[in-house]
Amino acid sequence: MKVLLAATAAVLIASPALAQTAGASPAAAQAATAGTKATGEIKSIDAKAGTVTIHHSPIPALGWPAMTMTFKATPDALKVAKSGQTVSFTLKGPENQVVAIEPK
Ligand SMILES: [Cu+2]
């Protein structure tokens, strides 16, 4: 149990924006996981709406084929997003929010 709590705390510290939604039980359960990793190419960014559109490769963990779709993203993730960039990214929570983007 101690280990689980430590892991949860680490996730919350690593993702401050996610901590807001971690109070609800489904989100809390998701927040305790490492998230879903995926890769893709950034098509566009809407900083105002807080969204990023990515053409992503298949994501077997979610049962998704390759497609272009728009995700909600944390401010930190949006900050590093650049249109046309090939990236790996991390999805978390019930809405599959992009919580991290890493240029490849
Ligand atoms: Cu998709």
pTM of the predicted model over 0.75: no
Ranges of each domain in the chain:
25-103
How far is Cα 2 from Cα 52, in angstroms, rounded to an integer?
36
From the CA of 32, how far away is ligand 1's center (Å)?
22
How far is Cα 1 from Cα 66, in angstroms, rounded to an integer?
37
Q: Which amino acid is it at 102? A: E
Per-residue pLDDT, 2: 57
Fold of 25-103: OB fold (Dihydrolipoamide Acetyltransferase, E2P) (2.40.50)
From the CA of 2, how far away is ligand 1's center (Å)?
35
From the CA of 50, how far away is ligand 1's center (Å)?
17
From the CA of 92, how far away is ligand 1's center (Å)?
14
Q: Which amino acid is it at 76? A: D
**Selection from 70, 68, 80, 19 nearest residue 49 by Cα:** 70
pLDDT tens-place string over residues 6-52? 554 455 445 445 544 444 445 444 445 789 999 999 999 999 999 99
Q: Which amino acid is it at 99? A: V
